Amino acid sequence: MSDQRVAVVSGGSRGIGKAIAVALAARGRAVVVGFQGAASAAAQVVEEITASGGRAVPVQADVADEGAVAAMFDAAEESFGGVDVVVNSAGRMSLSPIADLDLDELDALHRTNIRGAFVMAREAARRVRAGGAIVNLSTSVVGLQFPAYGAYAASKGAVEAMTLVLARELRGRNITVNAVAPGPTATELFLDGKDEATIRRLAEQPPLERLGTPEDIAEVVCFLASPAGHWINGQVVRANGGII
């Protein structure tokens, strides 16, 4: 059996998840690229990884479906021998003032962002090997309180709370659990529906005076998932260029 470390990345077909999958593979991890609907995009990520000499397989899974998530972890064990790193980057975002919020959309958002995060975390807690890492994706909006982000920020606040509890529940297992909370990041999900003036205003907020990139976030995740970052545990890292 290979001694290669193995990562499962949900939401790995695009945006931040794709950058994380590619970056982990570049650091020698075998990667399960989890996706829900974008099969062709996931296949392209796998092709990019394998073309660079890495190992990866795509696996379709709705993160809120416990059977599908268990099957994704099964695929990691069958393809690569185990699971060492789990990154939950699958997410859904819906923007609306709280007074106007469609509750059906709230339920859909929370199904992916809260239930999905719990299902991924539960399976990770059962399967990640000693020395491993679990990294959840949150958002800096939990602290920044931007208008119209109430439902999204609430869902990610739940993810942060769960992350901190799980880190303590895994005492004695030598597994770290952290969350990374990106600020405004230039992904398709983030840019959708925003005009140039809004994007420019958001880019000017951090002292570094630019939007983050998916690669910026991937670097933070890779550090937390590496032996070098193993002393960081039970933390939420605000990766936002210094926005207060």
Q: Is residue 238 part of a domain?
A: no
What pLDDT is recorded for position 153?
A: 96
Specify the pTM. 0.95
CA atoms of 162 and 115, how far apart (whole Å): 11
Q: What's the pLDDT at 1?
A: 38
- Among 13, 152, 162, 238, the one annotated catalytic: 152
The single-letter code of the amino acid at 188 is E
Number of domains in the chain: 1
Strands 133-137 and 176-182: parallel
Residue 130 belongs to some domain of the structure: yes
Q: E strand or H helix at 179, and its extent? A: strand 176-182
Residue 240 lies inside a defined structural domain of this protein: no
Q: What is the CATH number of the domain that holds 59?
A: 3.40.50.720
Inside any domain, residue 1: no
Q: Is 149 considered catalytic here? A: no
For each of the chain's 244 residues, which pLDDT tens digit applies? 356 899 999 999 999 999 999 999 999 999 999 999 989 999 999 999 999 999 999 999 999 999 999 999 999 999 999 999 999 999 999 999 999 999 999 999 999 999 999 999 999 999 999 999 999 999 999 999 999 999 999 999 999 999 999 999 999 999 999 999 999 999 887 788 788 999 999 899 999 999 999 999 999 999 999 999 999 999 999 999 999 7
* 124 in any annotated domain: yes
Q: Domain residues for 44?
A: 6-233
242 domain-assigned: no
Q: Quick count: other Cβ atoms within 10 Å of Cβ 77?
A: 14
User: CA-CA distance, 48 to 8, in Å (whole number)?
Assistant: 17
In a domain, 127, yes or no: yes
Residue 167 inside a domain? The answer is yes
